[in-house]
A and B are shown apart, each in its own frame.
Chain A
Amino acid sequence: EPEVTQTPSHQVTQMGQEVILRCVPISNHLYFYWYRQILGQKVEFLVSFYNNEISEKSEIFDDQFSVERPDGSNFTLKIRSTKLEDSAMYFCASRLLDREETQYFGPGTRLLVL
């Protein structure tokens, strides 16, 4: 069964450093998402991406964040200058264009900013 994959599974970085989180969505999916979950809190929407552009973003997704689909398979989230409060689990999700109700999530990347 196809799955969303994410790398790395864990990343530790120093405050102010740039990080890139990588995702490989399910191959025939066209809508992609990033969510985050701070420890003990709910899953929060960051951004959705379709047809090589951002479809919607939350107020969390400020100028420090960017997304990119650099090739036909990868989908990345970049945080330019990490802050302590960026420490969280980051989940990538994807769905088919005509299946609005079924987003499939990856296993997540645990980011720790020191």
Chain B
Amino acid sequence: QKEVEQDPGPLSVPEGAIVSLNCTYSNSAFQYFMWYRQYSRKGPELLMYTYSSGNKEDGRFTAQVDKSSKYISLFIRDSQPSDSATYLCAMSGAGGGNKLTFGTGTQLKVEL
């Protein structure tokens, strides 16, 4: 079983739709959960992070973590064409070097 699993998509939605992106993981030692956005041939850009279980909201973005199910989500409200990118989930354990373990990324296209 892969440590982090993420549906690669592509996911195509109309402008204004609510987007739901998800990852599952197997390593119960993960404590930090991040979402990165990556445009083609660019570096990952940190969008949001959550520590342990719970929800976090930032503008149109909401991150949810359910550690009991080992399942994390990112919701994007009122999606815009500029949200078109690949969304990567990433996780790390607490302490030490905090290396990130990434999912494969979900390619999102928001169409006019």
Contacts and interface: CB of A to CB of B under 8 A. Distances in A.
Interface of A: 4, 31, 33, 35, 41-45, 48, 50, 55-56, 58, 89, 91, 93, 95, 100-108, 110
Nearest to A41: B104
Contacts of A105: 36, 43-46
Interface of B: 32, 34, 36, 41-46, 49, 51, 88, 90, 92, 94-105
Contacts of B34: 101, 103
B43 A50 contact: no
Classify the secondary structure of A's interface with B: strand
Contact of B51 (A58, A93, A101, A107): A101
A51 to B, nearest CB: 11
Given A42-B104, A48-B99, A56-B96, A103 B46 contact: yes
Contacts of A106: 43
Contacts of B105: 42
Nearest to B43: A105
6 contacts: A43-B100, A48-B99, A56-B97, A56-B99, A100-B98, A103-B34
Contacts of B103: 42
Contacts of B44: 43, 91, 105
A95 B95 CA distance: 13
